[in-house]
A = this chain, B = another copy of it.
Amino acid sequence: MSLVLHGYFRSSAAYRVRIALNLKGLGYESLSVHLRAGEQDAPGYLALNPQGLVPALIDGGQTITQSLAILEYLDEAYPDTHRLLPEAPLERARVRALAAVVCCDIHPIGNLRVLNYIQGPLGQDEAAMIAWYNHWIRRGFGALEAMLTANAGTGRFCHGDAPGLADACLVPQVFNAQRHALDLSPYPTIERIWKACEALEVFAVAHPSRQPDAQ
């Protein structure tokens, strides 16, 4: 087994994959793609991932892109380690829906390339950009909080008492929320789960500040 992760310390999607790899106890080599320097648009990286986004995971010479696809892959290709998803179809659907609120409906709208468009072609100032960024997190966190509190499946973590796929997506989004000082107090369940995750070493070592390329 030889896993290589092309990522960036502050990329939320790469952070998800670091958490998942750690949860499953899979060692990996970390390669940095410097997003602010535009390394994701270099021909060599585009040959690996035509989207020009991180992360990309290499497993035995095969490239896998898109963080959600990578998380699912890790659970299917390495089924004998800690499971990121529960067994029953309805429970799996719940975990995937929680993850999708973050990965589809919050994160892409606040991604670096989108913020660049807001400030570039749309000519918005930094205050408008931050308002935009936090608006979509609040919309998503409001829904997530309701989904977590209204469901008996929620435990110490997003689903049950073991961390999994939804937690691997939630924690990096809370990190993002803190970048522009979003008030977490309207989301006590999210905050509780985030703290439970942060207390675990597997989450702590995946934190952006702990990565070799952190600035």
Contact = CB atoms under 8 A, between A and B. Distances in A.
Contacts of A96: 66, 68-69, 72-73
A interface: dominant SS: helix
Contact of A66 (B77, B101, B146): B101
User: Copies per complex?
Assistant: 2
A113 B109 CA distance: 11
A121 interface: yes
Interface stretch (A86-94, A196-204, A206-214): A86-94
Interface in A107-131: 107-109, 113-114, 117-118, 121-122, 124, 128, 131
Contact of A104 (B68, B76, B92, B135): B68
Contacts of A1: none
A19 interface: no
Contact of A50 (B50, B68, B135, B143): B143
Interface in A14-66: 50-53, 59, 62, 64-66
A5 interface: no
Contacts of A104: 66, 68, 103-104, 107-108
Given A66-B96, A122-B122, A132-B122, A105 B51 contact: yes
A94 B122 CA distance: 34
A51 to B, nearest CB: 4
Nearest to A146: B50
30 contacts: A50-B142, A50-B143, A50-B150, A51-B101, A51-B105, A51-B140, A52-B143, A62-B90, A64-B90, A64-B94, A64-B97, A66-B96, A66-B97, A68-B100, A68-B104, A69-B97, A69-B100, A70-B93, A72-B93, A73-B90, A73-B92, A73-B96, A76-B92, A77-B90, A100-B103, A108-B108, A117-B132, A118-B122, A121-B131, A122-B122
